[in-house]
């Protein structure tokens, strides 16, 4: 009889979590906005020393100059736990572009996984500009 009574009690309480089950999954749903992912990616790209920003473009024309201290432009598309990224950035001259791009890609994917628990399924990177190391240094102020 004790086996039957135990089975009846288990049927009465189907919402009781098992020992292996994670109760946090039933508390609610978390959605991360595209803009949040873009900000995390922008900061992660800024952490790579040989990568820089790019000027704004209007009708195919660049406005301003390359800013090595800025991060590049980013577009993120979040679909559940999957993220597709597209970035535009500059690379310090004369660094190997493929090496810098691979470093940025790896660092960004690690940061997105670490901070947002999302998986990057595609990460396209465009390099429209190069900048020299002289541009990265602040200008020398002159005494007047």
Q: Give the residue extent of every domain in the chain.
A: 31-136
Specify the pLDDT at position 96.
Answer: 95
Spatial separation of the C-alpha atoms in residues 99 and 45, rounded to whole Å = 14
Are the C-beta atoms of 85 and 14 separated by less than 8 Å? Answer: no
Q: Any residues with CB less than 8 A from the CB of 29 and at least 6 apart, and which? A: none
| pLDDT at site 119 | 97
The DSSP secondary structure of 32-48, one letter per residue, reads: --HHHHHHHHHHHHHTS
Q: Return the H-helix or E-strand segment holding 57.
A: strand 56-58
**How would you write the pLDDT of the chain (144 residues) with one tens digit per residue?**
444 444 455 455 555 555 666 665 677 888 999 999 999 999 999 999 899 888 776 776 666 666 667 777 899 999 999 999 999 999 999 999 999 999 999 999 999 999 999 999 999 999 988 988 775 455 456 566
Question: What is the rounded CA–CA span in Å between residue 126 and residue 72?
Answer: 10
Q: Could you tell me the CATH superfamily of domain 31-136?
A: Cation efflux protein, cytoplasmic domain (3.30.70.1350)
Q: How far apart are CA 85 and CA 106, in angstroms?
A: 13
- The pLDDT, as a whole number, for residue 19 is 60
Rounded to 5°, the CA angle 69-103-58 comes to: 45
């Amino acid at each position: 009889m004790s086996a039957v009574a135990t089975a009846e009690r288990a049927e009465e309480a189907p919402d009781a979590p098992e020992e292996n089950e994670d109760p946090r999954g039933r508390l609610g749903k978390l959605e991360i906005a595209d803009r949040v992912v873009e900000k995390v990616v922008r900061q992660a790209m800024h952490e790579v020393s040989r990568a820089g920003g790019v000027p704004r473009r209007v009708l195919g024309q660049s406005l301003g100059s390359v800013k090595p201290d800025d991060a590049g432009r980013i577009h993120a598309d979040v679909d559940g736990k999957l993220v597709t990224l597209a970035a535009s950035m500059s690379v310090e001259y004369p660094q190997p572009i493929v090496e810098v791009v691979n470093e940025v890609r790896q660092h960004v994917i690690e940061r997105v996984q670490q901070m947002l628990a999302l998986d990057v399924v595609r990460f396209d990177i465009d390099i429209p500009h190069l900048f020299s190391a002289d541009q990265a240094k602040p200008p020398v102020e002159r005494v007047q």
